[in-house]
Structure 1
Amino acid sequence: MEGVGRPDGDDAPGRCAYQGAPGAFSHEAVIDLRPWDEPVAYDSFEAAIAALKAGQVGCALIPVENTTIGRVEPAASLVETAGLTVVSEVWRPIRLALMAPAGARLGDVRTAESHPAALGQCTGALAALGIRPVEAFDTAGAARAVAEANDPARAAVAPARAAEVYELSILRNDIQDSADNRTRFVLLSA
């Protein structure tokens, strides 16, 4: 997939804000779509947008819609009211993986932590596995917390790349309820 270029056509290295921890879907999107930019992580959509408005970054890549759950909130509402320019948009496939500390087995897992939007994309799969969803601020942040806890009863729902970043084992790939699960990201500039 091609990168999402700057409005002025200048693709010199810059800084691109995203919400989440390293390994999150938004982090992946920045790396894949804007490889010339330094990805800059923020804990919330509000903080990523505020950084753009303050000139701390040159752009922000924010998810606003998903084919399974609809609007990604609060991101979509924040984008609508931010007064920023939507430079471009792209739909990206979203594949969710269930991951846990090394040595954990699927039968050990009691809870799965993730961002509410990601949990909403795999409610059927988690219910079928008898796993209780637990909301976290971010997909990769949940993976990091599960790795730090090192509890085989706790898993995370996150991109497969997060398992590599946080040294977790993937117990099941493609746990999203829809085979055509995609998210629309918008590139914002001030």
Structure 2
Amino acid sequence: MTDAAPIVSEEAAGRCGYQGAPGAFSYEACLDLRPWDEPVAFDTFAEAIGALKAGEVGCVLIPVENSTIGRVEPAATLVEQSGLVQVSDAWRPIRLALMAPRGARLADIRTAESHPAALGQCVNFLAGIGVKAVEAFDTAGAARDVAEAGDMTRAAVAPLRAAEVYELSILRHDIQDNSDNRTRFVLLSSADA
């Protein structure tokens, strides 16, 4: 037995859900792949998918696979179990940056915070500079937390756009271990997107 598809209002049809905070890779994917839609942030992948099922958004964009670490979990499993139809997918280059509060120096950084998938993509870089990886719910959420704390020993691993959104300084560009680092995003919809 399958649930009936929710009725999607005109307002919901113009909204694309994603997991994370503004400035996250999924946020960037929404802006680039669905520029006509309003990006809508959710704390978890399950909440984003649930919002689509409830008719609160017209589609969701979810990362399911990365060229460096493989499956992005729990996102890939949630997509498979959602019962929703995959409308399209796109591989996008992922460039990670190490960012910290303005005035921080690389030599002072002790921890780097980010989503586990992003941390897995720059293991060698972080080990090479002697920085401890700290898991957070999201790349941009980590950038926001680092900015709010103002602690010069804390950094975030996130997309460049997150540094702009949260007014952080970039300490190093392109810190991903694989120069061809890419993530596959899938677009899910309960109606034609």
Q: Which category of TM-score, normalised to the shorter sequence, fits these structures?
A: over 0.9
Aligned to 2:23: 23
Aligned to 1:131: 131
- The code of the aligned residue for 1:160 comes to L
Aligned to 1:77: 77
Q: Deviations over 1:38-97 (max 9, x none)?
A: 000000000000000000000000000000000000000000000001000000000000
**TM-score normalised by structure 2 residue count:** 0.92
d(CA) in 1 for partners of 2:34, 2:171? 30
Aligned to 1:99: 99
- 3-state SS of 2:78 partner: helix
Residue 21 of structure 1 and its aligned partner are, at CA, apart by: 0.1
Aligned to 1:149: 149
- 3-state SS of 1:55 partner: coil
1:121 aligns with 2:121: yes
- 3-state SS of 1:89 partner: strand
Aligned to 2:178: 178
Query: RMSD over aligned Cα, in angstroms?
Result: 1.0
d(CA) in 1 for partners of 2:148, 2:89? 35
d(CA) in 2 for partners of 1:59, 1:172? 34
d(CA) in 1 for partners of 2:16, 2:160? 22
Segments ≥4 residues shifted beyond 6 Å? none
- The code of the aligned residue for 2:95 comes to R
Structure 1 runs not aligned, ≥5 long? 1-12
d(CA) in 2 for partners of 1:155, 1:107? 11
d(CA) in 1 for partners of 2:88, 2:17? 15
Structure 2 runs not aligned, ≥5 long? 1-12
Q: How many residues align?
A: 179
d(CA) in 2 for partners of 1:134, 1:65? 21
- The code of the aligned residue for 2:126 comes to L
Name the % identity.
78
**TM-score normalised by structure 1 residue count:** 0.93
- 3-state SS of 1:60 partner: strand
Q: Deviations over 1:6-51 (max 9, x none)?
A: xxxxxxx700000000000000000001000000000000000000
Q: Deviations over 1:135-184 (max 9, x none)?
A: 00000000000000000100000001100000000000000000000000
